[in-house]
Amino acid sequence: MWDPATEGEFLLKIWIKKQGIEILPGGRVGAEVAVYNKRPGRNPGDLTGPADATYFLDGGQGTQEWQERQLPVALNHDVACVLFTVVGEKFRGSVWFEDPQFPGVDGRNSLPPLAPSQSHAPFRNWLGENLSEKEWPKFKLTLKGKEFFLGKLYQPVYSWPAAEVDLPIDVLRPGENELTIQLVSDYYEALAFNLRGLEWLRVPDGDLEILACPKLVEAGKPFSTLVKTRAPGMRARVSSTLPSGQPKSNIRPLKSDLIFPDPGMHFVTFQAGSAGPGATLIFHFADEESQVAVDRVVDRPEDGVLVGTGDSLYVPAEAESFRRFHAWYLHNSLGNSIVYRPIYRWGGSRVLDPETWKETVRFAEAAGLKYSLILDGREMPGTDGNPPDDWLAGPLFRGAQTHEHDGEYDYWGVYRRWPEEELFHSVYERFPARGRAGNLGDPRLWGGRAMEPIFFDPHRAHNMHDAAAYFVENIRRELPMADRHSGPSTLFKYFFQAGYKWLAAETMYGPHEIILGALRGASHAHGMEQFGTHIAAQWSTTPHDDPWAFRRYFLALATPYIHGAEHIYMEDGLWHMEEGYTAHDRFSPAAQGHMKVHQNFYQFTRAHSRRGRLRVPVGFLQGQYDGWDCFQRRKVWGQEGLEWDFAEPEKSWDLLKVFFPRSVLDSIYREPCPHEPVGFFSGTPFGPADIVPVEASAETLSKYTILIFLGWNTADAQQVERLRNYVHGGGHLILALPHLSTEVDRKKAPLPLMTSQTQQLLGLELRGLRASTGTYVPHHPADQPMADALRGQKMQLGDVRLHSALPRVVDSAGTPVVIACELGKGRVTFVNAPLYPADSAVEAVYQGLLQEAGQQTLARERDSLWVKGTDDVSFAVYDWDREAGEPATHTVYLLNVNWWSDAPWPSEAKLLWQDVEIPLNITRGEIHMVTTSGDWGVWTQDNETDVISLHSQARRVDVNLQGQGQTQLKILYRPAAHGGAPLRLCGESSQGPLSVDALDVPGLWQTTVKLQGPEQLHFFVCKVENYGRPGDLSIGVN
């Protein structure tokens, strides 16, 4: 900061020595003085935007011994602060700077010495960028006295980082080979290093190596294999063969004779034919050949599901490192998408090389990988690492995205900056235009010498309206960088309000089903059908190599899949996995265990199509200005003051546990993680539910059969009108009196909006409040449990005059507590108390209403097909597109979320199929699928078999499916679940009759089939005259 009492012309003095300096185009070497004037509303330390005056002392080119250089700088009373920068950009050679001085009118130097730190005035330390050498030690490697490597090897932030160096094959000799490793760092006070271990990584020898080939390919589509050649001008002939007994290959190369002019990686394209067995692909070259197998050709309608990882953050963004990473990525079949995220601390990315990114785009397009970019840059060297969108442009580029702005401006709370950090944050704010780095805060907040907030002002908001608007303002300020975002909170609707176009939920920190419900509800309300999950499996639990961690990772992948996510990717953890600076490289049990789960899941998504649309009949309304984020239970909207404490409006969201009984509605970190339920995953007794913005359109609201208010809401006339239309059209709305309040001040009592629309909605007139008697009676015996739950509770109630509404529970004076009102085709259930649902006086009543809503959902949805889940079984039902005259087809996905038990006990759910219930034993570690049409269903028993279609008639069904190898199927026939005249199930395949065995569960049979691609099976039932024969089922049909 500049002393406002000082003005005049001052001299910057600095000593410079240079040797062989060559300044490249766009470069400079010297010292810069940037002057920032006072501006209304601007913090004195704010360095964002252009300076008001800039002076530069040019160091020049060439060679020169030490010489003092001077630069005159004019300052006056309007100056707020001055930034001194010693700079060398885009140059060759060596330059030294020493003894900077900027004397004031009293002759005292205003600048500290050029040293890492000085304690006299910690807020006036120099800040170095790209000057640190400690993480770039220099090594020299020799084998049998012959040098084969000399250079710097980056050491990332985690413990025991490994560096890889190529050993030329011609250096090795038979017998003993003595390896010498020397640390030859030559920077000032170079650090020593401990050598912890040495490993040899072997790759195949030869002129041509097949690096990657997909195991499953799609019928009728081209696909690519990745090969590497090690000699120029290589020629190869490519062919394909089927297993013995097959008439001809179903896969052919687009070009049989190939020439590879240059050594390196190349894609070779093949064309897949119809669905069926795979083929062996053979590369003939010189006197050698290499082979690789494609397991299957699948008939797979496109469902848009993308799988991948963001492990590239551990890899420096330079060409050769990316080539190795890409080869590893494809070789291990990690997905059909890839997420790039250049970061200095983990990967050493600090150079923005256009050729590297051009090659990366070419690679992704040739491999058929959809790709995206997460912007980072949390250290100054990494702020130059984010490529601009036009470098990445292409048909497969999904766009750039930012990450955790919901933490930055809400749930992280009030981060405060120490005085000595002021320069870092001020200078850092200048960088987004340079490299699109992630924002580190709001410079308008800084200044002075006390600790101050970095990201947002915790005293800015005076009410809930202000707080929500301030959050939207902050995240909207980040939009120029990217309109895609990922984060773990439930504040998704506010990102859409700010203008974001695509969102992902960061998972493994909280209750998955609830967070996904919030993301799905907000996305659909804003017309965004696609959304994703960013799985941070490495951060929330330890140890990473615990087999139970692998079970959790499977659920972290499978849960968003059945809940409708389109892009499912791991943040990182397969190339490397670290948390708390611990290190697990790609060869470790931790990374290998997670990789196996990831590969199996990706294989599943390639073997199946997610057909139809997810049916979600229940929505929980996220009120206007609601600041519940499901990630912390301290403050609302990050604001300070008692009125912002986490209170009843936010606690009311805990009632979601009625629908998600094992969920913990908070951030979840378990280090180490016990083998017990901790809240990550929950069964869904009544099915999935969305968290729906109350601002949603009438069309969106009409898609839900039940809508329920829980947390904060500030009502307005337009909102009430949409809700009135929703109910009139057939919906069921559950709410309490605070949800109709127009109040925005948390300190004030609810102020109900009583308009004519509100009176129509509730079927009553609210005239004020009155005290309850504390004694309650039901209007009907069925509501006695609610009256019992209220016993002894004294509270304020609405003084109401009922019009079309009817009371369900009243106090002894006749004042209604729970009210029902029919309106048009729908109805309203209203808790007539100025208390949020979490208030102890009404919490049990509201829980009972939610249980009632859940039971109503089971009763209603079973008319087509539904499931009665458990605490340990979650499910989702997808309704297929229906042809005219065809019976409805559905697929049910079921997951056993019990990852913690030692014994793999199955959990029983019940398939609710119109008038029957069929028990299903759901084992863990797999996605169970039951596909039904008409009266028939097929339950596949492995992750390879996919039901393509069912064509059902009264007592017969034709099943089209595909798979590989021997598999078991369970066949369901709904009428047989009633009992009555005994039935027998018969079946046949293209290979002949099938052996079909009755199970203990009525309506359920089992058979074993051998599949080699697509197959059509036929099943039919007939009455049994003689009981007890093998294959007979002694039950009947009504």
Average pLDDT estimate for 1006-1034:
74
Please enumerate, as own/partner, the contacts of 439-445 that have beta carbons within 8 Å and a separation of 24 or more.
Answer: 439/405, 439/408, 439/477, 439/478, 439/481, 440/378, 441/408, 441/415, 441/417, 442/474, 443/43, 443/45, 443/46, 443/47, 443/48, 444/41, 444/42, 444/43, 444/46, 445/43
Question: How confident is residue 442, by pLDDT bands cut at 50, 70 and 90?
Answer: low
Amino acid letter, 942:
D
Tokens of 673: 């993680």
Identify the CATH number of the domain defined by range 208-297: 2.60.40.10
Q: Report pLDDT for 1026.
A: 43
Q: What's the angle, vertex CA 165, arms to CA 160 and CA 171, rounded to 5?
A: 140
Q: Calculate mean pLDDT across residues 742-765.
A: 96
| Residue-level pLDDT at 832 | 98
Segment 948-974 shows an average pLDDT of 94
pLDDT at 452: 64
Q: What six digits make up the tokens of 350? A: 């600090």
Q: Look at residue 121 in the predicted model and tell me its pLDDT.
A: 72
The pLDDT value recorded for residue 2 is 64
Side by side, the strands of the sheet bearing 251-253 are: 208-212, 222-229, 264-272, 251-253
CA distances from 998 to 960, 979, 994 (A): 22, 14, 13
What is the distance between the alpha carbons of residues 866 and 877, in angstroms, rounded to a whole number? 7
pLDDT tens, position by position, 329-361: 999 999 999 999 999 999 999 988 999 999 999
Q: How far from chain centre, in Å, is Cα 591?
A: 19
Q: What are the residues facing 720 on neighbouring strands? A: none
pLDDT of residue 434: 46
Range name among 77-86, 307-316, 708-717, 1025-1034 with the lowest pLDDT average: 1025-1034
CA distance 558 to 4: 62
The CA-CA-CA angle for residues 916, 920, 923, to 5°, reads 170
CB burial readout 567-596, b (16+ within 10 A) else e: bbbbbbbbbbbbbeeebbbbeeebbebbbe
Each residue of 282-331: pLDDT tens digit?
Answer: 999 988 899 999 999 999 999 999 999 999 999 999 999 999 999 999 99
pLDDT tens digit sequence for 966-995: 999 999 999 999 877 778 999 999 999 999
For the domain bounded by 618-860, which CATH number is listed?
3.40.50
CA dist., res. 787 & res. 785, Å (int): 5
Q: In what order do the strands lie in the sheet with 916-922?
A: 866-868, 907-913, 916-922
Measure the CA–CA gap between 91 and 985, rounded to whole angstroms: 82
- pLDDT top residue among 49 and 740: 740
The pLDDT, as a whole number, for residue 56 is 98
**The CA-based dihedral angle spanning residues 340, 345, 350, 354, taken in that order and rounded to the nearest 10 degrees:** -10
pLDDT exceeds 80 at position 916: yes
Q: Above 80 in pLDDT, residue 246?
A: no
Give the phi and the psi of residue 223 in degrees, each rounded to 5.
-150, 165
DSSP state of 654: G
The pLDDT of residue 954 is 84
The whole-chain average pLDDT of the chain stands at: 92
pLDDT at 433 over 60: no
Distance, in Å, from the CA atom of 8 to the CA atom of 1027, rounded to the nearest integer, reads 111
Query: How far is it, in rounded angstroms, from Cα 652 to Cα 612?
Result: 34
Q: How confident is the model over 468-493, as pLDDT tens digits?
A: 999 999 999 999 889 999 999 999 99
Question: Is the predicted pLDDT of residue 446 greater than 60, yes or no?
Answer: no
Contact 775, 754 (CB under 8 A): no
**Cβ atoms within 10 A of the Cβ of 289, count?**
13
Tokens for 216, please give them.
């499953």
Fold adopted by 306-614: TIM Barrel (3.20.20)
Residue 1028: pLDDT over 50? no
CB atoms inside a 10 Å sphere around CB 908:
12
Check whether 526 has a pLDDT greater than 80: yes
Kindly state the helix (H) or strand (E) to which residue 391 belongs, with its residue range: helix 389-392
**More confident: 614 or 885:** 614
Query: What contacts 639, CB < 8 A, 6 or more positions away?
Result: 458, 459, 460, 461, 467
User: Which segments of 528-654 are extended strands (E)?
Assistant: 532-535, 567-570, 576-577, 584-585, 613-614, 618-622
- Lowest-confidence pick of 17-21, 621-625, 1033-1037: 1033-1037
Q: List C-alpha distances in Å: 217 to 226, 270, 322, 966.
A: 14, 10, 25, 20
Distance CA 626, CA 98 (A): 56
> What pLDDT was estimated at residue 1029?
42
Q: What's the CA gap between 742 and 750, in Å, rounded?
A: 7
End-to-end CA distance of the chain: 89
Whole-angstrom distance, CA of residue 683 vs CA of residue 872: 4
Task: Report CA torsion sign: 157, 158, 160, 162.
Answer: negative
The token pair at 370 is 């959809």
H/E stretch holding 1023 reads strand 1004-1023
The amino acid that residue 975 corresponds to is: P
| Tens digits of residue pLDDT in 111-154 | 988 887 777 776 778 888 888 999 999 999 999 899 999 999 99
Instruction: Judge residue 710's burial from the number of C-beta atoms within 10 Å of its C-beta, 0-12 exposed, 13-18 middle, 19 or more buried.
Output: buried
pLDDT, position 438: 56
User: Could you give the 3-state DSSP secondary structure of residue 783?
Assistant: helix
Q: Can you give the residue ranges of every domain in the chain?
A: 8-111, 208-297, 306-614, 618-860, 866-1033
Distance CA 518, CA 531 (A): 11
CB 1009 within 8 A of CB 1015: yes
- Asked if residue 845 lies in contact with residue 660, where contact means CB atoms within 8 angstroms, the answer is no
- Structure tokens given for 123: 């807020």
Of the two residues 7 and 4, the one the predictor is more confident about is 7
- Spell 620-630 as b/e; 16+ CB within 10 A means b: bbbbbbbbbbb
Q: Could you tell me if 117 and 413 are in contact, meaning their C-beta atoms sit under 8 angstroms apart?
A: no
Is 70 exceeded by the pLDDT of residue 439? no
Q: Do residues 11 and 73 touch, judged by C-beta distance below 8 A? A: yes
Q: 3-class DSSP state for residue 288?
A: strand
Q: Tell me: the pLDDT tens digits for 837-873?
A: 999 999 999 999 999 999 999 999 999 999 999 999 9
pLDDT at 440: 54
